[in-house]
C-alpha cells in the first residue's frame, strides 16, 4: 500500500468527527510515522499559506516538488491541505508534534530539511512576505534550531542572501582545512539514506535531505577552491 493510500485510510477516521490532530497522534509510532510526518508537514504548509492570506500556483507547484505527490494522489494531499487550513489548531501545535516526533533520534538533519522545504514553498512565487518570515522563524524556534541555523537556511532560499559556505558546514574561516574536510565528510555521512533510515527517519523526510546534500557538497567545493584552487577531494 502506498504512502498516500495509507494517508487516505487515516483520513477516513475524520468522517467520524475526529480532529486532524487526534488522527495524527495515533500515527506517531512506526510503521505509520511516515504517514504522520507527511500529514503534519502538509498541515504546516497549509498554515503557512494562511500566513500571507493567499496560495499562488507557484507555491502549489513548489509543494508538489518538495513532497513528490503522484498525480493520482493529489486529491488526498489536497484534502489534508484543506483540512489543515480549516483546523482550529494553530501551526505551533503541528510544529511541536513534529519536533516531539524526532526528539532524541533522527533530529539532526530532518528538522532543518523540513524548514528548508517550507522556505522553498514560501519563496516559490518570487516574494517573501514578513508574515511568512515570522511564521518560519517561530517554527525554527519550536524545532529548537539555533538562530545561525535559521539564517543559514533562510539565506539558501531568500533572494539576495547567498549562503555562506562556512556556515553551511558549521565551521568558520579560521577553521583548519583538514577540520573543515572532516566536518564536510561527517555531514555527508549523516545525510546518507542508509544512515537516516537507521535513525528512523521517514522516507518523505529523506527526500528533503537531497537538497541539503547538494548544499553541503557545494559549500565544500567553494571552500576548497578558495584555499586550494583546483582541488575538491
Q: How far is 153 from 172, CA to CA, in rounded Å?
A: 17
E strand intervals along 47-138: none
Predicted pLDDT of residue 107? 44
CB 143 within 8 A of CB 99: yes
| Burial class for 219, CB neighbours closer than 10 Å (0-12, 13-18, 19+) | buried
Q: How confident is the model at residue 39 (pLDDT cuts 50, 70, 90)?
A: confident
Predicted pLDDT of residue 228? 72
Q: How many residues does the chain have?
A: 233
> Which has more confidence, 214 or 141?
141
The helix (H) or strand (E) run that includes residue 9 is helix 3-11
Predicted pLDDT of residue 16? 65
Mean pLDDT on 163-169? 82
DSSP character for 190?
H
pTM here? 0.68
Q: How far is 79 from 86, CA to CA, in rounded Å?
A: 11
Q: How far is 101 from 201, CA to CA, in rounded Å?
A: 10
| Residue 176 predicted with pLDDT over 90 | yes
Q: Cα separations (Å) of 41 from 61, 180, 188? A: 16, 33, 24
First to last CA, the chain: 42
Percent of the chain with pLDDT over 70: 65
DSSP character for 199?
T
| Residue 200 predicted with pLDDT over 60 | no
Q: How far is 161 from 159, CA to CA, in rounded Å?
A: 6
Mean pLDDT on 134-156? 87
Amino acid at each position: 500500500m502506498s504512502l498516500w493510500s495509507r494517508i487516505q485510510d487515516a483520513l477516513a477516521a475524520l468522517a467520524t468527527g475526529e480532529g486532524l490532530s487526534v488522527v495524527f497522534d495515533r500515527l506517531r509510532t512506526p510503521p505509520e510515522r511516515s504517514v504522520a510526518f507527511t500529514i503534519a508537514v502538509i498541515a504546516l504548509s497549509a498554515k503557512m499559506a494562511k500566513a500571507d492570506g493567499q496560495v499562488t500556483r507557484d507555491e502549489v507547484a513548489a509543494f508538489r516538488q518538495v513532497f513528490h505527490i503522484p498525480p493520482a494522489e493529489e486529491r488526498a494531499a489536497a484534502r489534508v491541505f484543506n483540512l489543515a487550513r480549516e483546523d482550529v489548531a494553530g501551526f505551533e501545535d503541528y510544529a511541536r508534534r513534529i519536533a516531539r516526533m524526532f526528539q532524541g533520534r533522527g533530529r539532526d538533519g530532518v528538522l532543518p530539511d523540513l524548514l528548508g522545504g517550507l522556505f522553498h514553498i514560501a519563496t516559490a512565487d518570487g516574494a517573501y512576505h514578513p508574515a511568512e518570515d515570522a511564521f518560519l522563524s517561530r517554527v525554527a524556534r519550536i524545532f529548537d534550531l539555533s538562530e545561525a541555523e535559521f539564517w543559514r537556511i533562510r539565506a539558501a532560499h531568500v533572494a539576495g542572501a547567498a549562503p555562506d559556505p562556512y556556515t553551511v558546514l558549521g565551521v568558520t574561516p579560521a577553521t583548519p582545512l583538514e577540520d573543515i574536510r572532516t566536518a564536510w565528510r561527517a555531514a555527508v555521512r549523516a545525510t546518507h539514506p542508509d544512515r537516516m533510515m537507521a535513525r528512523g527517519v521517514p522516507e518523505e523526510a529523506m527526500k528533503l535531505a537531497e537538497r541539503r546534500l547538494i548544499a553541503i557538497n557545494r559549500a565544500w567545493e567553494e571552500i576548497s577552491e578558495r584555499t586550494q584552487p583546483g582541488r575538491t577531494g
